[in-house]
Amino acid sequence: MSQATLHAPTVRTTCPYCAVQCTFDLHLERGLPVKVTPTKDCPVAHGTVCKKGLAALNDLRHPERLTTPLLRKGGELTPVGWDEALAYVRDALGNLPPERIGVFGSGSLTNEKTYLLGKFARVALRTPHIDYNGRYCMASASTALNRTVGYDRGLGFPADDLIRSDLLLLVGANVAETLPPLMQYLKGIKDRGGTIYAIDPRATTTSKVAGRHLAPRPGTDGILALGLLHLMKQWGRIRPTAPAHGMAQVLAHADDYHPARVAHDCGLTEEDIFTLGRAYAEARTPLILTGRGPEQHTQGTDTVQAWLNLAFLTGHFGKVGGGYAPLTGQGNGQGGREHGQKNDQLPGARSLRDPRHRAEIAALWDVPAEALPQPGHSAQELLNACGNPAEGGLDALIVIGSNPVVSAAGAGQVTQNLKALKHLIVIDFLPSETAQLATLVLPGSMWCEEDGTTTNLEGRVQRRRRAVTPPGAAREDWRILCDLAAALGRPHGFEYPDFRALQDEFFRATRGGKADYSGLSADRLDRATAQWPVKSATGPDTPYAYAPPFFTPDGLATLHVPQLRAPTLAPRALHLTTGRLGNQYQSGTQTRRNPALKAEQTVQIHPDTAREHGLGAGDLVTLRTAHGQATAPVALTPGLRRDTVFISFHWPESANLLTDPHALDPHSRMPGFKATPVTLHPAHLS
């Protein structure tokens, strides 16, 4: 394997984008990476790769790459030196009460940066208000798993086991576009005679390969799961995985979800429900995988809970090849939700509310436990509070590796809020739409300019290796956070002699947590990747995570009764659902600038619905919701439900102008991205 030596001919690292975390060899010429080769020993992709990964180097020296700090002077972002930039930070933040400062992180940060960001917020800034964009991604599935079995390790098993399923239900998971290497496993399941259902309001490339497609109304996936549990109970298929709390209540609640009701609520036929039910009842190893479709709702946690309950009560949860698992989306979405950038969390997936956890981490950080803040705002609440005294008023926000003015719900309101801040400090490597609003932009590092680790969708920790130094005056992000702590007069705990010192402290900080990485080191990861927990340097890793006893006080799971209601629509309204395109990633800061990743924003509408509204292919249509409006060309899409329209969220001033910034899932604090009532208006009549 290649070493992380600068200017070595090849450097092995991981892709900057999705949670497959494909491993690449980067080929260097004159010190710069010029080509990506996928590696056959990648544990998930096995040498396959997608277009985004192959094109990832195109942005490395993009003409818009940020190479010097930019300070807003006379209304313009103006190049300045680091001394002036850090003096601004000292003056801007040094005199604010800590609770008026927020920090907004990212599921694209390495584990080490995630850890350091949480420490920086709580020790250097002393603010309770830190959260991250993963709140918009996996939060509902993560919350459902945590409250049921006490932890969330993504798939919970090696990806190679996927082909051992004889019935795969992909619920709101368009893996062909979002996690392309997983398609080889779908082929493997079919080659072995298995069956695959795509459950999605849209026909997609994934549903075509799956071969079986059910298109429930947006927001009703959980009701479909309740209907299946109803049938399993009727047919005597209840054989719980293990003793658990709450089973009787969950089973009694399912009595109300008979096929006629479920078919009505979901917009399916009773035959659809019975056919899927029979397939599930007869399968030996049915596997349910959820994506963002069921999760990004204001009842996302209970929606996922309904599927998790089904897998658990039919005895498949934790079974090799079967059960329930979520599909993580962002590159380090798994590690990003474990090590302290969530508002209620300390490293190792510890709880900020637990006195023992607080004491453990406070000792490591050499601060009194009582000095650690209590949990603050979650991501959307944090953005709603920016410049807004009515919602807990923040005066300053630090954003790293995220672009919330595109990706947050109610992006129009979020933009106004960020403009109203006294200080918006953005650490990034390209001028995202959020950076363009900043009072100070600090130029950070890209993926192949930094060392670290990421944790993929299987809970597997891998090394990311530095191949090149950041250009100009740009700095590695971890150094920037340490520089900020020093500028604030709180350097203690941020004076790492080198990156390895930070990394070793991070591994130590996870010891005793649920997400325990303490047996890992860079050297061990050079020899082999590892699935957590890894509790000692010589001990094994843990390929299978979801087996009893669970990480709960008594080792038992607790099932919860899902509280679900079908969405209602006013006359002439439709369901608006949002999602991703294969050639783009997240808010598009990198991929929209990449000439190899062509894509355009359209509104997908069923041809009959378009005709009813006087619309044809390519016509401009204005979408209106209670929260805003957006206009884009029509793409006629026969595979979409007639009562649903789809728009991707990768472009500014588009999809998230239409979503609600205030209605949040009560458990996960997830906004509703997937089911907003909308009306259509031909743009020439608007």
- Residues forming contacts to ligand SF4 in the complex (CB under 6 A) are 15, 17-18, 20-22, 45, 49-50, 52-53, 179-181
Compute φ and ψ for 556, nearest 5 degrees.
Answer: -100, 155
Nearer to ligand SF4, 22 or 397 (CB): 22
CB of 671 to ligand SF4, least distance (A): 24
| CB closer to ligand SF4 out of 332 and 415 | 332
Q: Identify the CA nearest to 532 among candidates 556, 433, 220, 524.
A: 524
CB-count exposure of residue 154 (10 Å: 0-12, 13-18, 19+) = buried
Q: Report in angstroms how near the CB of residue 63 gets to ligand SF4 at its nearest.
A: 23
- Would you list the DSSP string of 28-50? EETTEEEEEEE-TT-TTTTT---
CB of 359 to ligand SF4, least distance (A): 38
Min. distance of Cβ 461 from ligand SF4 in angstroms?
15
- Burial state string for 606-644 with b = 16 or more CB within 10 A and e = fewer than 16: bbebbeebebeeebebbbbbebbebbbebbbbeebbbeb
Q: Which residue, 180 or 373, is less far from ligand SF4 as judged by CB? A: 180
Token reading at 80: 């300045």
| Residue 287: CB minimum distance to ligand SF4, A | 20
Strands 167-171 and 195-199: parallel
Residue type, 576: L
- Rounded Cα distance between 207 and 290, Å, is 14
Task: Give least dist CB 138 to ligand SF4, A.
Answer: 15
Under 8 Å between Cβ of 381 and 414: no
Is 122 or 464 the residue whose CB approaches ligand SF4 more closely? 464
Shortest spacing between CB 29 and ligand SF4, in angstroms: 21
- Whose Cβ is closer to ligand SF4: residue 52's or residue 217's? 52
User: Counting beta carbons within 10 angstroms of the beta carbon of residue 98, is it exposed (0 to 12), middle (13 to 18) or buried (19 or more)?
Assistant: middle
Which residue number, 217 or 337, has a Cβ lying nearer to ligand SF4?
Answer: 337
Among residues 127 and 454, whose Cβ is nearest to ligand SF4?
A: 454
Nearer to ligand SF4, 22 or 26 (CB): 22
Minimum distance, C-beta of residue 45 to ligand SF4, in the bound complex (Å): 6
Q: Rounded to the nearest 10 degrees, how much is the dihedral formed by the CA atoms of 76, 78, 83, 87?
A: 0
Strand partners for 346:
350
Least distance from C-beta 27 to ligand SF4, angstroms? 16
Would you say 579 and 676 are in contact if contact means Cβ atoms under 8 Å apart? no
> Where in 508-619 does DSSP place strands (E)?
530-531, 557-558, 574-579, 603-605
> Rounded to the nearest whole angstrom, what is the least distance from the CB of residue 54 to ligand SF4 in the complex?
7
Q: Closer CB to ligand SF4, residue 102 or residue 326?
A: 326
Measured from the CB atom, the residue of 445 and 586 that comes closer to ligand SF4 is 586
CB nearer to ligand SF4: pick between 465 and 514? 465
The answer for residues whose C-beta is within 8 angstroms of residue 113's C-beta and 6 or more apart is 400, 401, 452, 477, 478, 481
In whole angstroms, how far apart are CA 585 and each of 461, 525, 659?
22, 27, 19
Q: How far apart are CA 170 and CA 326, in angstroms?
A: 10
Q: How far is the CB of 161 from ligand SF4 (least distance, A)?
A: 19
Q: How far is the CB of 591 from ligand SF4 (least distance, A)?
A: 10
Structure tokens at 153: 């390790």
Whichever of 21 and 602 has its CB closer to ligand SF4, that residue is: 21
**C-alpha to C-alpha distance for 130 and 109, rounded to whole angstroms:** 14
Contact between 219 and 559 (Cβ < 8 Å)? no
**CB neighbour class for 127 (10 Å; exposed up to 12, middle 13-18, buried from 19):** buried
User: Which residue's C-beta sits nearest to ligand SF4?
Assistant: 53
- CA distances, 70 to each of 76, 397, 402, 437, 473 (Å): 9, 16, 17, 11, 11
Q: Which is nearer to ligand SF4, 220 or 328 (CB)?
A: 328
How many Å apart are CA 433 and CA 426, to the nearest integer? 11
Nearest to 114 by CA among 345, 348, 360, 335: 335
Compute the least distance from the CB of residue 38 to ligand SF4, in Å.
Answer: 7
Q: How far is the CB of 322 from ligand SF4 (least distance, A)?
A: 24
CB of 620 to ligand SF4, least distance (A): 31
Using N-to-C axis directions, what is the helix angle for 300-313 and 221-234, rounded to 10°? 20
For ligand SF4, the closer CB: 14 or 143: 14
At 239 the three-state DSSP class reads coil
Choice between 331 and 348, CB closer to ligand SF4: 331
The DSSP call for residue 684 is G
Q: Name the phi and psi angles at 149, rounded to 5.
A: -120, 0
Nearer to ligand SF4, 170 or 405 (CB): 170
Long-range Cβ pairs for the range 264-269 (8 Å, 24+): 265/217, 265/220, 265/223, 265/566, 266/216, 266/217, 266/220, 266/223, 266/224, 266/227, 266/566, 267/215, 267/216, 267/217, 267/220, 267/641, 267/643, 268/214, 268/215, 268/216, 268/224
C-alpha closest to that of 327 among 133, 107, 154: 154
* Least spacing, CB of residue 546 vs ligand SF4, in Å: 23
